[in-house]
A and B are shown apart, each in its own frame.
Chain A
Amino acid sequence: MTTLLSVRGAVKQFAGVRALDSVDLDVIAGEVHCLLGQNGAGKSTLIKVLAGAHEPDSGELLLDGRPVRIPDPRAALDLGIVTIYQELDVVPGLRVYENVFLGHELARAGWEQRRRMRAATTDALVRLGHPEIAPDAELGDLSPAGQQVVCMARALLREARLVVMDEPSAALASHEVANLFRVIGELTAAGIAVIYITHRLAEIRQIGDRVTVLKDGRTVSHGLDINATSDETLVRLMTGRDVANTFPPRRVVAENAPELLRVERLNRAGSFADVSFSIRAGEIVGLAGLVGSGRSEILGSIYGAIHPDSGEVTLDGQPLRPGDPAMAVRRGLGLAPEERKSQALLLDQAVYRNLSLASLERFATAGVMNRRREMTEAVAKIQSLGVRPTEPRQSIRQLSGGNQQKVVVGRWLVRECRVLLLDEPTRGVDVGARADLYALIRQLADTGVGILLVSSEIPEVLGLADRVLIVRQGRVIAECAADETDEEQVLSLLMKGSAL
């Protein structure tokens, strides 16, 4: 057991925030070392230090026992540290293989060796269980999950000694996570160390060897043996409290609750077909399915973000115009989209401006903003969602991933919709904040809002929703009450088609 990499007393200060406040970490060759911590604990900052994206203010990095400096990303790669970031970092306009080899193109005498690059890309994609992604496809045409796979392929093709993954599973469905774990197994078998960040404790149990817990920028415990540590202990280390990780109690939706949203025979070639269902006031309906099964496209089509080919969506009995999100919002619909960075956030603008974006009229009289009202509301939402840091004027880029996600959902809590469409609302949100978010969503439903929930985590759908629709390859194949089914049953329904 040789220690590959050590971090000693790393400190990183941003204007006003101590993101890292003395962090220690030891990674052994060939292990999967999990990094745990609440949103904003400093996990991403730490791995950015390792990736050469941030230089620490003080502290020491040791590789093979020798002190090293990592002043820029190139240096990290040269040392064999390859990073898969929390947010995708790809160039949509380039082809898949070009993205994979960006910055280390294979070339001989100045000529690109395209054939070799394509072949290597195909190999890597097959290893990742995605033979269907063509190396020549334009990256922007892939789904977010597909893009994530390409990031992974890129990491595989570098000569790595340490692969760092920041919440890689957040965008993946369960069978894809299985693939990811297989690849991680291959890496560690070859003596490569993996640092793995996730908010899902179950995953840590599955593949982790040791775990380091960060809290408020400090290492609170260091290289714990996972098998000797209970979930409760981990949660307590992370949050400093006991989180009752239960879902809020359901209330029986009254028989006579009015129907809010009705979707009838909605079709979109290549995405989904013949989708019909309805949502009543106060009801949470979950869409369970694999990534790529068309759930996000169904949400997008209801909302008007994309055009369905045919079918009708009615809200309160009145049809919605397809492809017109402005009208949908005016009528009381809201959508918290899947990809926070490209679809939801104004990254360089303040948190409060991100929160109020969908509700500007609410804070305006004859077009003139009442900033006091806006700010008061923003502060209230920051409070109820537990966004940290709490400063509403901070640019949202400076928030950690999980805190950004809370703002994405918060935007629609500010708006006070009649029907809320939530696409992976808890992506990247930590255990404690997740419980708070579940409670908020349930509270919203209890006030008569209808909610349509998409989540790749089946327990989340089953725990939060009243009714679950099983979506497979763009079709609703089954519907059941959430409390009358279990994860296994849902999974077997989901997988049946793909096994054929």
Chain B
Amino acid sequence: MKTAETTVARAHPALVALQRIKHRSVAVPKGPALVLVVLVVVGTLLSPYFATWSNVLTMLTSASVIGIISVGMTFVIISAGIDLSVGALVALVAVVATMDSVQQGGWALMIAVALATGLGAGLVNGLLVAYGHLVPFIATLAMLASARGVAELISGGTPQTSLDETFNQIGSAKPFGIPLPVWVFAAVVVVGWFLLNRTTFGRRTFALGGNREATRLAGIKIRKHILILYTLSGLTAAIASVLLTARLTSGSNAVGTLYELDAIAAVIIGGTLLAGGRGTIAGSVLGVLIFTVITNIFVLKNLETDVQNIAKGVIIAGAVLLQRRRQNAPERAQGHHNEQRNDGYDNFSRTNGWAVSDKAGDARRVGGPRCGRVGVGVHQ
């Protein structure tokens, strides 16, 4: 291999690669960005009020709750997991933070208790998945049910008013003319982006979702990592809950219903693979914004919520179909549509002699196939 040709190749890719680091630092998925642009144009045409500064701030404020949740969700889904409990955790955190005894401690205690509750519940999720060998879908479904149950038990089913003015300020303060929730949303996004794209933690998350067994065999502590991932998702749910509670100035066991689906939908629309291994924070943010803009347009036009829900459903299906097509396009042209389907079992149901025959501890599949698809087709 010591030909002149390879010597030339030596300098070349290094330079190219190093240069490219500078260029593409934040990759924004094109599909969702396009959808958002179209929606913004439509909104502007439909209502003169749409493109005003105050409406933009309204939209961003209402996007912030789901937005923060979907940052945590992005991590979990990239790792080939799922967290169905986030909506219920929003309610649990809201109720716990507004208990009389907590409110008496003032706003700082309220926030501390809120975050601790989210972390704790997320930790339980993580323990169930990583060490209890439960499928993420089931573990977090169990959490969904019980968290809401506990919230109802504590609150007795009635909203608890938050009397702490400082705490309520979180929902209404506008530093530099921009609502505090928007600041918090932005901060969570930046931190999440950095964590995912610039740290070993992010790398391991991608690796875990790409190939769990390979990640384990590369010496990465996958159980500890899974534990942290779900804890992180609990934390983002708690932050979102604080913002929501402050804005509503009350905590109720009924808030946050179906937030998990909104967050998952936003993440998937943003281009993150439900099967894991691929995804971006920017995409998830776009996904959330797409939903917010749709809702906003419908509110401005005074349309019924049922129409609105149908539109949402169509957009979810449309955006994901668009992505599939984009991913498949080169393959399809070659009549190679099997390859995509194969991913499902490469990463999930595919086991090797070891993992199956070894019943002890580590080698067992902790998560199991969450959405393992099978197909026979072509491999390299």
Contact = CB atoms under 8 A, between A and B. Distances in A.
Interface of A: 14-15, 44, 48, 51-55, 71-73, 85-94, 102-103, 138, 140-144, 241, 270, 297, 300, 303-307, 323-326, 328-330, 335, 337, 339, 341-349, 352-353, 356-358, 360-361, 364, 367-369, 371-372, 375-376, 378-379, 382-383, 386, 390-393, 397, 400-401, 404, 411, 432-433, 436
Contacts of A86: 379-380
Contact of B351 (A342, A352, A358, A404): A342
23 contacts: A14-B330, A52-B335, A55-B335, A73-B377, A91-B345, A92-B345, A92-B349, A140-B353, A140-B356, A241-B3, A305-B216, A306-B357, A325-B219, A341-B346, A342-B351, A349-B210, A349-B277, A353-B207, A357-B220, A364-B199, A367-B201, A383-B10, A392-B17
Contacts of A88: 379
Contacts of A368: 198-200
Contacts of A383: 6, 9-10
B214 interface: yes
Contacts of B3: 241
B199 A375 contact: no
Contact of B14 (A300, A353, A379): A379
Nearest to A51: B378
B376 A102 contact: yes
Nearest to A360: B200
A375 B358 CA distance: 36
B203 A369 contact: yes
Contacts of A348: 210, 277-278, 343
A406 B60 CA distance: 48
Given A53-B377, A432-B1, A346 B363 contact: no
Contacts of A102: 376
Interface string B303-334: 00000000000000000000000000010011
Interface string B194-212: 0000111101101100110
Given A54-B335, A343-B213, A372 B21 contact: yes
B13 interface: yes
A325 B221 CA distance: 8
Query: Is the contact region of chain B dominated by helix, strand, or loop, or is it mixed?
Result: helix
B379 A325 contact: no
B216 A325 contact: yes
Contacts of A379: 10, 13-14, 17
B378 A48 contact: yes
A14 B380 CA distance: 14
B158 to A, nearest CB: 45
A325 B217 contact: yes
A144 B355 CA distance: 12
Across chains A and B, which 5 residue pairs bring their CB atoms closest together, nearest first?
A329-B219, A87-B379, A346-B210, A53-B378, A307-B360
A419 to B, nearest CB: 13
A168 to B, nearest CB: 13
A91 B18 contact: no
B95 to A, nearest CB: 35
Nearest to A390: B13
B378 A73 contact: yes
B180 to A, nearest CB: 28
Interface in B1-19: 1, 3, 6, 9-10, 12-14, 16-18
A91 B376 contact: yes
B364 to A, nearest CB: 11
Contact of B353 (A15, A144, A369): A144
B378 A85 contact: yes
Given A53-B378, A87-B379, 13 more contacts: A53-B334, A53-B335, A73-B338, A91-B374, A138-B356, A141-B353, A303-B217, A307-B360, A323-B361, A349-B277, A375-B14, A375-B18, A376-B18
Nearest to A14: B330
Interface of B: 1, 3, 6, 9-10, 12-14, 16-18, 20-21, 198-201, 203-204, 206-207, 210-211, 213-221, 277-278, 330, 333-336, 338, 342-343, 345-346, 349-354, 356-358, 360-363, 372, 374, 376-380
B374 A44 contact: no
Given A86-B380, A379-B14, A342 B362 contact: no
A369 B335 contact: no
B118 to A, nearest CB: 22
Contacts of A325: 216-217, 219, 362
B353 A353 contact: no
A94 B343 CA distance: 17
Contacts of A328: 219
B217 A143 contact: no
B18, B210, B219, B221 pick with most chain A CB within 10 angstroms? B219
A142 B354 CA distance: 9
Contacts of A300: 354
A410 to B, nearest CB: 13
B362 A324 contact: yes
Nearest to A268: B358
Contacts of B221: 326
Contact of B346 (A270, A323, A335, A342): A342
Nearest to A145: B353
Contacts of A55: 333-335
B354 to A, nearest CB: 5
Nearest to B361: A323
Contacts of B372: 93
Contact of A341 (B220, B356, B377, B379): B379
A323 B9 contact: no
B4 to A, nearest CB: 12
Contacts of B216: 305, 325
A382 B13 contact: yes
